[in-house]
Amino acid sequence: MIAKLRALVCVVLAGLAIPQVVSADSDAADQETGNEQHLEYLVKRQQAYTLERVSDERIAVLQTSPLFRWDNPISGARGGVFLWTIDERPVAMTKCHVNDRKQHYVESSVFLSDSLLLKYQDQTIWRPKESALKHVSVERDSSPVQSSVGRLVQMRQLAADFAIEDTWGEGDGEPYQLRLIPRPLYRYASKEAGLLDGAVFAFVQGTNPEAVVIVEAIRRNNQVQWHCGISRLTGYALTVERNGNVVYKVPKLNHPDHQNSYRHYWEKPIPYPFQSEKTSGE
């Protein structure tokens, strides 16, 4: 009798376990579908724009694969970072995300080159007066080495020399020390620009990029030298130090106008789940 009861219990427990496995597989599938929908939506939003460099009428190329995908457990947002290039060199970056909890869509863009204009449906919606990239002198640092691996080590060290504080949050905000991701988001070279090597590094809050440092080895007058630039990727205030000296400081931006080098766009409500093909500009 006892043996029969034990056998019955085993059968019941086995039966109970099966739905749990199916449920776990189903949750994983739903999560993967949700991730694909997010990515498709973000890419389509960026593809709706055209970015032009006015000085030579060049159209920037959108990299449709995001440089970086991130989740911010603090705000509940999931997003990606997209890059626009001309001759492989970065000219603009957009951080965009969907917040499932609040059901809104947000874009933050920075323009890293002069003479740019952003169009939506053939209408100019943004034309910054200047680049968002602040150049920081590193001329006294060591010269770029010949090997690609060695230059990557040097570029990573140059990026690590920066300490960035982000005053994050509504109102007065709270100070956050941003963390450098040691692997560059993007590495490139450009013969047209005399650029031997370059890399874009992200400084993040959690996994959310809030600032970028661009390091380039540029050939000029038969010499190759390091050049560094830093840009915000947030509307919150940033203070940047290098070797103990403040080299970059920008205030919080609530409503930047169309001539600002930082662009912020917010939309609510959004079609959710993503059933609509609609995208919008400003």
pLDDT, one tens digit per residue, over 164-179 is 999 987 777 889 999 9
The answer to whether 248 touches 227, Cβ cutoff 8 Å, is: no
First to last CA, the chain: 76
pLDDT > 90 fraction of the chain, expressed in percent and rounded: 60
pLDDT score at 85: 97
- Mean confidence (pLDDT) of the chain: 84
The answer to whether 144 touches 217, Cβ cutoff 8 Å, is: yes
Q: Any idea which of 42-56, 97-111, 209-223 has the lowest mean pLDDT? A: 97-111
The answer to whether 175 touches 167, Cβ cutoff 8 Å, is: yes
Residues 190 and 271 in one domain: no
148 inside domain:
yes
Interacting residues of 274 by C-beta distance below 8 A, sequence separation 6+ = 37, 38, 40, 41
Residues 261 and 245 in one domain: no
Domain encompassing residue 262: 40-132+254-282
Q: Is the pLDDT of residue 21 over 90?
A: no
Q: Is the pLDDT of residue 67 over 70?
A: yes
The answer to whether 204 touches 197, Cβ cutoff 8 Å, is: no
pLDDT score at 279: 45
pLDDT in tens, 133-192: 999 988 767 899 999 999 999 999 999 999 999 998 777 788 999 999 999 999 999 988
DSSP 8-state secondary structure symbol assigned to residue 48: T
206-221 average pLDDT score: 92
Residues 126 and 138 in one domain: no
The answer to whether 192 touches 186, Cβ cutoff 8 Å, is: no
Q: Is the pLDDT of residue 277 over 60?
A: no
d(CA 216, CA 231): 14
Peptide bond just before 128 cis, omega within 30 deg: no
pLDDT score at 60: 98
d(CA 105, CA 60): 24
pLDDT score at 270: 66
The answer to whether 96 touches 120, Cβ cutoff 8 Å, is: no
pLDDT score at 34: 54
Residues 177 and 69 in one domain: no
Residues 142 and 233 in one domain: yes
CA geometry: angle at 212 spanning 211 and 216, to 5°?
160
Note if the pTM is more than 0.75.
Answer: yes
Residues 172 and 203 in one domain: yes
For the chain, the domain total comes to 2
The answer to whether 104 touches 270, Cβ cutoff 8 Å, is: yes
